[in-house]
Amino acid sequence: MEQETLTCKTCGCESLRPMQVVLDDEDEEVRHLLGEEQESRFYSCQLCGDNWLSVKEKTAAGDCTITFVHQMGTSPVLKRVAHMDNPIVVSDENVEEWEYYKGDEPVPEDTWRDLLSDRRETLKATCMN
């Protein structure tokens, strides 16, 4: 079976691969901490190395959050959290509120986007040289 490939937002190549993150049976403690209504996907560009992890969590009340951790392994961590009222359809129209973080500190959206853009420009420059 051929693996799905998407266009990378950093280098523009069709080299971004999404992968489902599956916990092993030995990860029961982690599964308990995350809850049963949790789904994770890791996206990684095979060319420039850009990556992010998305973690979708549903609450008992039916609300949903999706946390995106961008460029894992780079410090400080850039994270954004979407609060949604519809866990089935994932789109910007369903997002009630976005929260943006640099490390553990909340930051304004434009600050967060500038940081991510700077990192992506660095990756792109490294990849193109």
Calculate Rg over the CA atoms of the chain: 16
Nearest to 76 by CA among 124, 43, 115: 115
Average pLDDT of 7-16? Answer: 90
DSSP E strand stretches across the chain:
16-21, 38-45, 51-58, 64-70, 78-84, 95-102, 105-106
Instruction: State yes or no: pLDDT of 30 exceeds 70.
Output: no
pTM, 2 dp: 0.78
Cis peptide before 87 (omega within 30 of 0): no
Half-sphere exposure at residue 14, Cβ-oriented, CA atoms within 13 angstroms: 3
Q: What is the pLDDT of residue 23?
A: 57
Q: What is the pLDDT of residue 1?
A: 45
Reported as a single tens digit per residue, the pLDDT across 40-85 is 889 999 988 899 999 888 877 777 888 999 988 888 999 999 988 7
Nearest to 125 by CA among 68, 71, 50: 50
Q: What is the pLDDT of residue 111?
A: 97
Residue 92 structure tokens: 């910007």
Amino acid letter, residue 67: T
| Lowest model confidence (mean pLDDT) among 13-17, 83-87, 99-103 | 83-87
Q: Alpha carbon of 116 to those of 58, 96, 99, 100, 110: distances in Å? A: 27, 22, 15, 11, 10
Task: Note the residue count of the chain.
Answer: 129
More confident residue, 91 or 68: 68
Q: What is the pLDDT of residue 19?
A: 85
